[in-house]
A and B are shown apart, each in its own frame.
Chain A
Amino acid sequence: MQKIILRRLVLSIPTLLIVSFLIFGILRLDPDAAVAARLGEGYTPEAAEQLKEELGLNNNIATEYVKWLGNLLRGDWGTSMYSYRPVLSEVMPKVGVTLELALVAVFFAVVIGVPIGVVSAIRQDSWLDYVLRGFSVLGLSVPGFVVATFVLAFLAIQFKWIPPTQYAAPWEDPVKNFQQFALAGLILSLATAASVMRYTRTMMLDVLRQDYIRTAWAKGLRERVVITRHALKNVLLPVITVIGLTMATLVGGTVIFETLFTMNGVGRLLIRGVYERDYPLVQGITLLFAIAVVLINLIVDISYSLLDPRARG
């Protein structure tokens, strides 16, 4: 197992290097625009040149990248160009909010997607199956932010209530924390839940046609035992992969959801960074997202190896 983890970690290094170079390069594609944004109406060619010099935008991109990477490895993620605070000090206090939102969404995706997928499979082609599949298509086709917009407007108009906007940590005020994250997490999870449901259904149908399941039925086992003890275990393996893959989408989705639900997470910080052309901040956050996605994939790989001995080979 250690070998597998090590191998995966080593393989993730080139991925992160490529991602980091892309982030670094893309932000510097149009230095003039960035300088113009910083100078605003004070823009003059002279001031622009001076600022480009200050920001290192005139230097060779490769040299600057190596410098940035060197600092990164020493734990220096740079300093925000506007708040003058270290990027990590800006980002880390907000990681908890984003992480909690993503985890709540994953929780809902599994809790909703897996049972519905199972029910849909074992009641294949029944009215219940059609209804549940209809919902899953709806979940996949309607963007989460649209659902969130409608739900929030409905709550505000009908009940004069929306989730609280000021963050409360779960250990400080669990009720407020639940109010903040439950609805946002639930809506954010819908598309993922729909995917999970469909994969679960497909896999379950496949597994239910296997010989060992037929044997289980032949032994006279009850449906609950056949499904939960014999079928579900094998169904979950590919579902875990799906969950891992959709985590990246969830992390991206938090950017929009944090705005809609007025949450002080990394996503909103990223928007602020983009708005202000705060290169170090945007680079730091995007890299953090990239690391998160790589780590999630690593965890998926490890889980897969743990659940399926054949994958360890």
Chain B
Amino acid sequence: MSTYWDNYWRRRRVSRRSVIAGGSAATLGLATMAIAGCGDDDDDDEGTGGGGAQLTPVAPTPDTAEKPVPGGTLRFMGGPIGSLIDIHRTNTPWESSFLWHWCGNFLMRFQKMAPYLPEPDLAAAQPEITDGGTTLIFKLRPEAKWQNKPPVNGRQVTAEDVKASFERIKALGAKSPRSGNYAVVDSIEAIDATTVRFKLKAPKADLLNAMADQYDLVIPKEIAARGEDAITKLEDVVGSGPYEAAAFEAGQRIAVKKRPDGYWKPNTAWVDGAEVVNQTDNQALVNAIRANQTDSVSIPADLARQFENDANFYILRAPNPTRECLLINHTKERYKDLRVRQALWRAVDRKQVYDNVYAGAGIIGGAMTPAAAGWVLPDAELAKLPGFGKRADEIKEAKALLAAAGYPDGFEETIMTATAFSANLVTDVIVSNLREVGIRLTIDNVGTDFATMLRRQIAGEYNLAGTLFLSGPYPDAQLLIYHHSDPAKGTRNYGKFADPEIDRLLDQQSAEFDYEKRKQIVFEIQRKLATAPGPVWIGSRILFFVNNKRVRNAVATPFLAGYDDAEDVWIKA
């Protein structure tokens, strides 16, 4: 059986040559391991040379040959595990991707094999969209039941729960990192027990994606009604998912166990329980999986490679939606000149960034993260765009652009960065790249505190910045918030990029619910941003997951995906 990622890499044959194995998986601590149906030992390694073959997910056996067996405990090790157990407020992934994804459900979740498109979870089907995209009506699965714990005691999941959950997220304001996603929601109405209606102020196609994006699970209305401090302890973790919270030690350990009353989705949720132990030291993770103290770890590629020929383990790979970036402050006079920005776009050697910093484990890309597969320009087209040609040609073009802009000898500039998440190492490569076209950069390193760099980015206290961003796998999160000139929409447009045509296209795609139509607009935006750039997007690194061979039906997801990891994985005794 062919997997989604097999096909993905086949489609991206050109870029597979530019994708090299290696690199750091410890990006922002935001890796997540998703478990889903996967099963193909087809390596598809034809002509890759550069290590692209290693990117094909490899399952220990074809999943058609084995039937899932219940039992066992799945052991993860990773981190950091934060202390904020409130899924609507937390911003650290283990509380969400492990604890809550195993214990709860979303209204919509991302598809396992197309993790850029939402599918129903608690919803019974895709929503009915009317009134020109301003009304979304969801029918809920009547069989969905809460766990048999107070205050819900196994009752049905109702439209009132959905309404209370999303109203809580919206009401949390600055206390929820996702609250802004629902600013467009005018009202939520429970029509009956299994029907809920969202009235929007304007059409917003990505609302469904936002609902599926990792953190926005549905919680019981009784708990939601407690307000912003509703979820502060283990007993408050009540979901409709296949597992119950068994232990939560902030910064230390999370454990879940199978819900005793049975999950309402039959023939799913095979393992008896699972746990994650907090460990962020990469070598300790390697030791732990070797010593059989964990079944799955995410580690940098150079460490993961030692497991490649070890029959006791297999490696899964997925692009990380974290994007390396050269941020440009467009309010500075120099960068108002399009030719200077075009020169920067061309001068950055994207491949070298991943070769040097991540031992080759990265995928070069434009304005959409390569991890957002379903929305990314095909490789053949990307290769024809500025910035993706032969290095010598790009340098020549960049120099010509600078000369035309009045900088035949380049110029001197400062670039801000931080010694965190390898941003400083990426910046080192950028400095070297830009020197080739005459731009002499002085590094302004803010130190190890990434938050300080973020604050200065937001305040516009920089000229250039070697930085990185992480956002969801859908167009608004990838394009709109970074490029729209309206501050209410371009919430991460820290460089104050402004292009009326891009604004128009961004608005147009944002309101388009039809995937194929929307994709064409998204493609057009990517083309335009390669010729009239805002930030200089570089690409995304690759995550490596090493699994014990006893773990079956596992696949790495490139996103902080909102589908139930818990439903499909099983353990071979």
Interface residues of A (CB under 8 A from B): 30, 32-34, 36-37, 39-45, 47-48, 50, 80, 82-84, 90, 149, 152-153, 155-157, 160-162, 164-166, 259-262, 264, 268-269, 271-272, 275-276, 278
Query: How far does the alpha carbon of A263 sit from the alpha carbon of B238 in the complex, in Å?
Result: 29
Please judge, given known A-B contacts A40-B454, A160-B291, whether A166 and B91 are in contact too, CB under 8 Å.
Answer: no
Please judge, given known A-B contacts A82-B83, A161-B291, A162-B288, whether A43 and B458 are in contact too, CB under 8 Å.
Answer: yes
Does B286 reach chain A (CB closer than 8 Å)? yes
Does B284 reach chain A (CB closer than 8 Å)? yes
Residues of A within 8 A of B520 (CB): none
User: Is the pair A155, B291 in contact by a Cβ cutoff of 8 Å?
Assistant: yes
Does B183 reach chain A (CB closer than 8 Å)? no
User: Is the pair A264, B291 in contact by a Cβ cutoff of 8 Å?
Assistant: no
Contact of B251 among A34, A41, A149, A268 (CB under 8 A): A268
Interfacial residues of chain B within 203-243, with CB under 8 A of chain A in the complex = 229, 232
Query: How far does the alpha carbon of A149 sit from the alpha carbon of B286 in the complex, in Å?
Result: 11
Interface of A is mostly: helix
Residues of A within 8 A of B277 (CB): 165-166, 262
Does B290 reach chain A (CB closer than 8 Å)? yes
Residues of B within 8 A of A261 (CB): 284
User: Is the pair A43, B83 in contact by a Cβ cutoff of 8 Å?
Assistant: no
Query: How far does the alpha carbon of A260 sit from the alpha carbon of B280 in the complex, in Å?
Result: 9
* B123 vs chain A, min Cβ distance (A): 28
Contact of A269 among B251, B283, B284, B286 (CB under 8 A): B251
User: Is the pair B454, A41 in contact by a Cβ cutoff of 8 Å?
Assistant: yes
Q: 12 pairs across A/B with beta carbons < 8 Å?
A: A40-B177, A43-B455, A83-B250, A152-B287, A160-B290, A162-B291, A165-B277, A165-B293, A260-B284, A268-B251, A272-B82, A278-B83
User: Is the pair A36, B290 in contact by a Cβ cutoff of 8 Å?
Assistant: no
User: Is the pair B454, A43 in contact by a Cβ cutoff of 8 Å?
Assistant: yes
Please judge, given known A-B contacts A37-B449, A45-B459, A165-B277, whether A262 and B288 are in contact too, CB under 8 Å.
Answer: yes
> A47-B174, A160-B292, A262-B284 known; 14 other A-B pairs, CB under 8 Å?
A30-B452, A32-B452, A33-B449, A33-B451, A41-B454, A82-B82, A83-B250, A153-B287, A156-B288, A162-B293, A165-B279, A165-B293, A262-B277, A262-B288
User: Is the pair B288, A165 in contact by a Cβ cutoff of 8 Å?
Assistant: yes
Query: How far does the alpha carbon of A43 sit from the alpha carbon of B174 in the complex, in Å?
Result: 9
Query: How far does the alpha carbon of A276 sit from the alpha carbon of B79 in the complex, in Å?
Result: 13
Does B253 reach chain A (CB closer than 8 Å)? yes
User: Is the pair B252, A268 in contact by a Cβ cutoff of 8 Å?
Assistant: yes
User: Is the pair A164, B252 in contact by a Cβ cutoff of 8 Å?
Assistant: no
Interfacial residues of chain B within 143-186, with CB under 8 A of chain A in the complex = 174, 177
Query: How far does the alpha carbon of A32 sit from the alpha carbon of B461 in the complex, in Å?
Result: 14
A-B contact count (CB 8 A): 109
Residues of B within 8 A of A272 (CB): 80, 82-83, 250-251
Chain A to chain B: the 10 pairs with minimum beta-carbon distance, closest first: A272-B251, A37-B451, A82-B83, A156-B287, A36-B455, A36-B451, A156-B290, A83-B83, A162-B291, A264-B252
Closest to B449 in A: A33
User: Is the pair B458, A40 in contact by a Cβ cutoff of 8 Å?
Assistant: no
Closest to B447 in A: A33
User: Is the pair B449, A259 in contact by a Cβ cutoff of 8 Å?
Assistant: no
Residues of A within 8 A of B452 (CB): 30, 32-33, 36
Query: How far does the alpha carbon of A33 sit from the alpha carbon of B290 in the complex, in Å?
Result: 39
Residues of B within 8 A of A47 (CB): 174
Does B84 reach chain A (CB closer than 8 Å)? yes
User: Is the pair B84, A82 in contact by a Cβ cutoff of 8 Å?
Assistant: yes
User: Is the pair A36, B454 in contact by a Cβ cutoff of 8 Å?
Assistant: yes
Residues of A within 8 A of B449 (CB): 30, 33, 37
Residues of B within 8 A of A269 (CB): 251
Residues of B within 8 A of A83 (CB): 83-85, 232, 250
Query: How far does the alpha carbon of A44 sit from the alpha carbon of B252 in the complex, in Å?
Result: 32
Does B42 reach chain A (CB closer than 8 Å)? no
Residues of A within 8 A of B250 (CB): 82-83, 90, 272
Residues of A within 8 A of B45 (CB): none
Interface residues of B (CB under 8 A from A): 77, 80, 82-85, 91, 174, 177, 229, 232, 249-253, 277-281, 283-284, 286-288, 290-293, 449, 451-452, 454-455, 458-459, 491-492
Closest to B175 in A: A42
User: Is the pair B451, A40 in contact by a Cβ cutoff of 8 Å?
Assistant: yes
Query: How far does the alpha carbon of A42 sit from the alpha carbon of B84 in the complex, in Å?
Result: 17
Query: How far does the alpha carbon of A275 sit from the alpha carbon of B250 in the complex, in Å?
Result: 12
Closest to A39 in B: B174
Closest to A37 in B: B451
* A34 vs chain B, min Cβ distance (A): 8
Residues of B within 8 A of A45 (CB): 459
Query: How far does the alpha carbon of A83 sit from the alpha carbon of B280 in the complex, in Å?
Result: 20
User: Is the pair A155, B451 in contact by a Cβ cutoff of 8 Å?
Assistant: no
* A209 vs chain B, min Cβ distance (A): 48
Contact of A152 among B174, B283, B292 (CB under 8 A): B283
Query: How far does the alpha carbon of A55 sit from the alpha carbon of B468 in the complex, in Å?
Result: 28
User: Is the pair A152, B455 in contact by a Cβ cutoff of 8 Å?
Assistant: no
Residues of A within 8 A of B84 (CB): 82-83
Residues of B within 8 A of A50 (CB): 174
Query: How far does the alpha carbon of A157 sit from the alpha carbon of B306 in the complex, in Å?
Result: 11
Residues of B within 8 A of A41 (CB): 177, 454, 491-492
User: Is the pair B290, A157 in contact by a Cβ cutoff of 8 Å?
Assistant: yes
Query: How far does the alpha carbon of A278 sit from the alpha carbon of B83 in the complex, in Å?
Result: 10
Query: How far does the alpha carbon of A39 sit from the alpha carbon of B229 in the complex, in Å?
Result: 17
Residues of B within 8 A of A44 (CB): 458
Query: How far does the alpha carbon of A82 sit from the alpha carbon of B91 in the complex, in Å?
Result: 11
User: Is the pair B292, A80 in contact by a Cβ cutoff of 8 Å?
Assistant: no
Contact of B83 among A32, A80, A268 (CB under 8 A): A80
* A263 vs chain B, min Cβ distance (A): 10
User: Is the pair B284, A164 in contact by a Cβ cutoff of 8 Å?
Assistant: no
Contact of B174 among A30, A42, A161, A166 (CB under 8 A): A42
Residues of A within 8 A of B454 (CB): 36, 40-41, 43
Residues of B within 8 A of A33 (CB): 449, 451-452, 455
Query: How far does the alpha carbon of A156 sit from the alpha carbon of B492 in the complex, in Å?
Result: 44
User: Is the pair A32, B455 in contact by a Cβ cutoff of 8 Å?
Assistant: yes
Centre residue among A83, A155, A264 by max chain B CB count within 10 A: A83
User: Is the pair A42, B177 in contact by a Cβ cutoff of 8 Å?
Assistant: yes
User: Is the pair A162, B287 in contact by a Cβ cutoff of 8 Å?
Assistant: yes
Query: How far does the alpha carbon of A50 sit from the alpha carbon of B173 in the complex, in Å?
Result: 13
Residues of A within 8 A of B283 (CB): 149, 152-153
* B51 vs chain A, min Cβ distance (A): 24
Query: How far does the alpha carbon of A83 sit from the alpha carbon of B95 in the complex, in Å?
Result: 12
Query: How far does the alpha carbon of A7 sit from the alpha carbon of B184 in the complex, in Å?
Result: 67
Centre residue among B77, B284, B449 by max chain A CB count within 10 A: B284
Residues of A within 8 A of B287 (CB): 152-153, 155-156, 162
Query: How far does the alpha carbon of A165 sit from the alpha carbon of B291 in the complex, in Å?
Result: 11
User: Is the pair A268, B174 in contact by a Cβ cutoff of 8 Å?
Assistant: no
Closest to A154 in B: B287
Query: How far does the alpha carbon of A50 sit from the alpha carbon of B175 in the complex, in Å?
Result: 12
Residues of B within 8 A of A80 (CB): 83
Residues of A within 8 A of B492 (CB): 41
Residues of B within 8 A of A166 (CB): 253, 277
Closest to B469 in A: A41
Residues of A within 8 A of B253 (CB): 166, 264
* A300 vs chain B, min Cβ distance (A): 32
Query: How far does the alpha carbon of A275 sit from the alpha carbon of B291 in the complex, in Å?
Result: 28
* A64 vs chain B, min Cβ distance (A): 21
Closest to A268 in B: B251
User: Is the pair A164, B455 in contact by a Cβ cutoff of 8 Å?
Assistant: no
Centre residue among B177, B277, B292, B451 by max chain A CB count within 10 A: B451
